[in-house]
Amino acid sequence: MTSETHTKSAMVVVRHEVEDAAKWREKFKTHGALFQTQAVSEVHLGVSGEDRVVTVFVTSDLDRFLSIFNDEATAAAQANDGITGGVEVYVIDETYVPSGD
């Protein structure tokens, strides 16, 4: 008999203020190795105006993601990407499916 382990993915939303959204988008995509250390399987990117961006990370290890997110390596990557501040982190902890009732 074999045992299967299913790891539920977590979603983390991060909002940043940046110098230039186009530059940020280009630089952000150079951090694949860092994201792999965070057990990230995919990232969704969004931009509002020229200086506000949001990312939605899907990770199979929330604790590892958050630990590395608060590490110096992440701070260096953010500085490289032109992040100027306003960092907000939201862990998605609930799903609501509208039923039409």
pLDDT tens digits, one per residue of 31-41: 999 999 999 99
Residue 7's pLDDT is 60
Mean local confidence (pLDDT), 48-56: 96
Give dist(CA 101, CA 90) in Å, integer.
Answer: 29
Give dist(CA 36, CA 33) in Å, integer.
Answer: 5
Confidence band, pLDDT 50/70/90 cuts, at residue 8? confident
Residue 30's pLDDT is 96
Residue 85's pLDDT is 86
Helix (H, G, I), strand (E, B) or coil at 54: strand
Cβ atoms 45, 53 nearer than 8 A: yes
Q: Helix H segments across 1-80?
A: 21-28, 32-37, 62-69, 72-80
Residue 101's pLDDT is 72
What does pTM read for this prediction? Answer: 0.87
